[in-house]
Structure formats: structure tokens, C-alpha cells
Chains A and B, each alone.
Chain A
């Protein structure tokens, strides 16, 4: 659906995007994750035809954005970082303007009504945009992107500046949209991609440092899995038993409590699932397990480790992890 090959953008001497490639399949929700200044907005600008790439090709539905910009732009709904609203217009006037601007052919009344229902702005339809709250403005911005029912929807930091309740609403809305659209969204907020996206592309300093399914991403970078156990029984014996389980790379006591139980931190070797054997090793010796928690590294840890890597190491680490 979307194919980006070796896209480069330089502003004078400054390299904002340094050769990135990825594809997005139809119906996917892909999260573009990276710290501020990573090049997310610049990439999206090139994808939507707002900026031209210095090098490389972006195609949408097989159409090259530089060769046939008008046709390519028809496939895309775009919500820029700052929603492009004409504040003096009412929501109704604004959406009708967008409808004309995109030379839409769907039934006007019905189409706009559907969109307003989807993004829940029907009750402010006749209000002037200037008087709307930030949350509603953001929704109007999203509504604008949906006009014409484009196949691809691109959101640049769609939840920035919203309060927590609005953030959750917008995230759910984006998830719903993902059922019928291909969605790319950018964010610097880690839980956001985890909550919404099928796949995560991490970008830093203009380069892609990771591109994985959401559910795979923590294992990819932690390499080993960390577990926290709570067991009632003699601490030393239990520790030895844990260490004797094949696949355990490391174990230590991290605390004890009044319930005469002890907590252990256990790390597996990369790519080995030790959970069953660990459980059996404890229970078969007659000790009682009262806690068993998997501590997959969370996205924050991953993110920091990936982004802080000196560049040559990133590739190596990813490769070695893949093999394991």
C-alpha cells in the first residue's frame, strides 16, 4: 500500500531523514516512534507531498508522489502536527470546503454526516471552530482527513496537547479507523504505539532503528526474558533449585517478606522460554509459589536502549538477536 525506498531529506547541510525504507500493508496501523527531531514529521511531509525528497521514492498504492502528486494525494488523508483549521469557519462550512477541495464525489450530506458521527462532532457541527476546545479541534482535524474516504490516513502526533480522557478517545478512534483504512501515526509517546499499533517503526536521527510487530518488540531488544518469582520456603535451597534449571542465565534474591516468602529475579538465556520448567522445579520440591511475574522489558527501556546506542551497534545487536 505504502512503499518508501531510501528516502533522504536534507535541509541545506542538515540531514533530517537519512535514507529510510519501509512498507506498510493494506489495513495495517503502523506507529512511527521517535524522540523530537527524529525526522517523523519530515518523513510524513514527504509521504504526503508537502515536501519533496532529496533522494528516494515514496509510492502510495503504486503511485509515485513526485510523478503524479495529484493522483497520489487523492489516496491520502493527512492530519498535520498542527490541525489546519480555518478558525473563522463553522465545522459545517469547513468540512464542506474540504469536500470541495478534494473534489469528492460521494453523497455530500450522507458522507459528512457519517464522518461527524465517527469522530463525534455532530453536536458542534454548526459552531465556529475558533470557539471549540482543543479536543474538538483535533477531532475536526481528523474529520478533515477522513473526507473523501481515502485509503491511507496519516496522523502526525494526533494526541499532543490533549488531556488523558481525550487521548484515550482519540486512540480508540484511530483503532476503529484501522479496520477500514491503512493508518500511519507518529508519536513520541511510547505507550501510545503499544496501545494502538500493529507494527512499530522506531526512528532516531533520521534512521530507522527498529521495525517490528508490536507484540515482538520487547523480546527483540531485551533478548532475554526477566521473571520475578515469589516462593515460600528456604531461600538458599530455592535459589539453587532455580539456578539448576536449564535455560536460566542468572538468578538472585531480591527481597523477602513477612509471609516467609522470598522474591527472586530470574533471567533466561536469550530466546528460551523457561517458565514451565521453572514452575515445575519449584512445585515438585514441595515449595509454594505465590507470585510469578513476567517482566518483559517495557517500551521505555527498549526505547532508551535503542535510541542511546551508538549507531554501529544497533545493527549488530538487532542481527544477533534475530539469530537467537
Chain B
């Protein structure tokens, strides 16, 4: 399992995709940060920063996950993994964590942005920390969705686009609310919405339910990926 993790991690930096992700992420988050917080000059405006990052995830994270299984299928190397003494769960987890490592590592680097806040004011460290934890979990959920979709196709582009659509759905379901009359459906949409749940963190409330929800999405999609491979084996 560790072998797959290591290979996957290295392959991000053999092809340009790893560099592109890191560079674009740092650049864009830096720009968003300076627009949202430094210019606005208010502590609470970090909320906007975090929300904007979520929008960025919709595009950025599928870049990391699109190749994970799609490429393996296309290159016919999938057979190698599936006939080697590694469990399916191990294989899926290795791929997930490889993408996650790149994402989380880049996020941690981008936290340098916060130093500026401490120089010019007194930010609420609890909010920064709580939001970061939540953001890392949302990232995990998005990557997990991407892993799953990558296992369904051998075309990276399709994998990326489908992942964007699905993440968009999870993020934005609450945005549909204004078009819907039924209170029940609205509350369901609110419940599903990653975005809706996230706003709690950005405004300083550490929502355990949301944490559990994000983690559940991650597990659910990793589990589904394992099922895809089991099913294919038995097809």
C-alpha cells in the first residue's frame, strides 16, 4: 500500500500537474487573501477568504484526482495492482492519501498568509484553526468524490468534469433553495450542502455535526470506490 502511495505522490511531480496545482493554488489563495482580508482590514473578513477557497476547490481538487484510477485503466497498469498482494481498500486508500498529501501540504503552506494578519491586527486564532480543520475535511470529501469518479472512467478529462459537477452539487445545493417551495426539500438541500455547513466555521462556531458529515462523505465515496472494483471483479 505504501508503495502505491509513494509512486502516486512522485507521479504528481513527474507530470506537470503537481506543480501546476501547487503554484496555482498558492497564487490564487494569496490573491484572494489579500483582496478579502488585507484590503478589507477586518478580522471577520477571513470568513470570505475561506468561502472563496471552497469555490476554488471545485476546480482545483479534481485536477489532483482525475488521473488516479483513470490513468491506471488507460495504461493497463490497473491489472498489476489488482493482481498484486494488496487489498482493494489499501489500494484505494493509498491513492486517496497521495492526493490528500499534496492538497493538505499546499494548504499548510498557504497558511503563511495568516502571518500578515498577526502583523497588522489580532485575528481570532480559534476561528482560523477551526476553519482550517473544516477546510481540510471538506478537501478530503472532495478528493474522495474525485477518487470515486476516477474509478468509473478511463478518460481523465471526463473524470475531472464529472467531479466538478458532483462537487458543485454538494457545495451548492442550498443555492437552489430560493427556487423551491417545499420546506422539506429545502431542509434536505440545506442538510446536504457542504457550503451551508461550512459557514458556521467561518463565523467562529465549531460545528461537530459538520465535521462528522464531511468525514462521512469521504468514507462513503472511498467505500463506493472499493465496491466498484469488487463489482467489476464479479461482473
What residues make up the interface of A, taking CB atoms closer than 8 Å to B? 11, 48-52, 70-71, 73-74, 76, 78, 80, 82, 84-89, 97-98, 100-103, 144
Set A11, A70, A144: member contacting B85, Cβ < 8 A: A70
Query: Does the CB pair B3–A73 fall under 8 Å?
Result: no
Set B3, B75, B76, B235: member contacting A100, Cβ < 8 A: B3
CB distance from B73 to the nearest CB of A (A): 11
State which residues 47-105 of B face A: CB under 8 Å. 75-87
Can you give 17 contacting A-B residue pairs, CB < 8 Å? Answer: A49-B83, A50-B79, A50-B83, A70-B85, A70-B87, A73-B83, A73-B84, A74-B85, A78-B79, A80-B80, A84-B77, A85-B75, A86-B11, A88-B11, A101-B3, A101-B4, A144-B80
For B230, the closest partner residue in chain A by CB is A52
Interface of B is mostly: helix
Contacts of B3 in A (CB 8 A): 97, 100-101
Contacts of A98 in B (CB 8 A): 80
For B80, the closest partner residue in chain A by CB is A84
Contacts of A51 in B (CB 8 A): 233
State which residues 1-47 of B face A: CB under 8 Å. 2-4, 6-7, 11, 14-15
Set A11, A82, A88: member contacting B76, Cβ < 8 A: A82
Contacts of A49 in B (CB 8 A): 82-83
B234: CB under 8 A from chain A?
yes
Query: Does the CB pair A50–B82 fall under 8 Å?
Result: yes
Set B14, B81, B83, B87: member contacting A88, Cβ < 8 A: B14
**Which among B7, B85, B233, B235 has the greatest number of chain A C-beta atoms within 10 A?**
B85
CB distance from B44 to the nearest CB of A (A): 47
The A/B interface has a contact count, at CB < 8 Å, of 62
User: Given the known A-B contacts A85-B77, A86-B77, are A103 and B85 also in contact in the complex, defined by CB atoms under 8 Å?
Assistant: yes
The docked-state distance in angstroms from the alpha carbon of A74 to that of B234 is: 21
For B91, the closest partner residue in chain A by CB is A101
The docked-state distance in angstroms from the alpha carbon of A48 to that of B206 is: 49
The docked-state distance in angstroms from the alpha carbon of A87 to that of B84 is: 19
Query: Does the CB pair B77–A101 fall under 8 Å?
Result: no
CB distance from A40 to the nearest CB of B (A): 15
For A49, the closest partner residue in chain B by CB is B83
Query: Does the CB pair A87–B75 fall under 8 Å?
Result: yes
Interface of A is mostly: loop
For A75, the closest partner residue in chain B by CB is B85
Query: Does the CB pair A76–B234 fall under 8 Å?
Result: no
State which residues 102-156 of B face A: CB under 8 Å. none
Contacts of A100 in B (CB 8 A): 2-3, 6
User: Given the known A-B contacts A49-B83, A101-B86, are A84 and B6 also in contact in the complex, defined by CB atoms under 8 Å?
Assistant: no
For A77, the closest partner residue in chain B by CB is B83
CB distance from A46 to the nearest CB of B (A): 10
For A147, the closest partner residue in chain B by CB is B84
Query: Does the CB pair B85–A48 fall under 8 Å?
Result: no
Set B7, B15, B76, B83: member contacting A97, Cβ < 8 A: B7
The docked-state distance in angstroms from the alpha carbon of A97 to that of B8 is: 11
The docked-state distance in angstroms from the alpha carbon of A253 to that of B235 is: 59
The docked-state distance in angstroms from the alpha carbon of A76 to that of B82 is: 12
Contacts of A70 in B (CB 8 A): 85-87
CB distance from A95 to the nearest CB of B (A): 12
Query: Does the CB pair B85–A73 fall under 8 Å?
Result: yes
Query: Does the CB pair B4–A80 fall under 8 Å?
Result: no
User: Given the known A-B contacts A88-B11, A97-B3, A100-B3, are A80 and B79 also in contact in the complex, defined by CB atoms under 8 Å?
Assistant: yes
For the complex with contacts A86-B7, A102-B84, 15 further pairs of A-B residues with Cβ separation under 8 Å are A11-B235, A48-B83, A51-B233, A70-B85, A73-B84, A74-B85, A80-B80, A84-B77, A88-B15, A97-B3, A98-B80, A100-B2, A101-B3, A103-B85, A144-B80
CB distance from A137 to the nearest CB of B (A): 12
CB distance from A48 to the nearest CB of B (A): 4
**Which among B6, B14, B75, B84 has the greatest number of chain A C-beta atoms within 10 A?**
B84
The docked-state distance in angstroms from the alpha carbon of A42 to that of B4 is: 26
| 6 nearest A-B pairs in the assembled complex, by CB-CB distance | A100-B3, A84-B80, A84-B77, A101-B3, A82-B76, A73-B85
**Which among A52, A84, A100 has the greatest number of chain B C-beta atoms within 10 A?**
A84
Bits for B196-208, please: 1 = Cβ < 8 Å to A, else 0: 0000000000000
The docked-state distance in angstroms from the alpha carbon of A37 to that of B2 is: 37
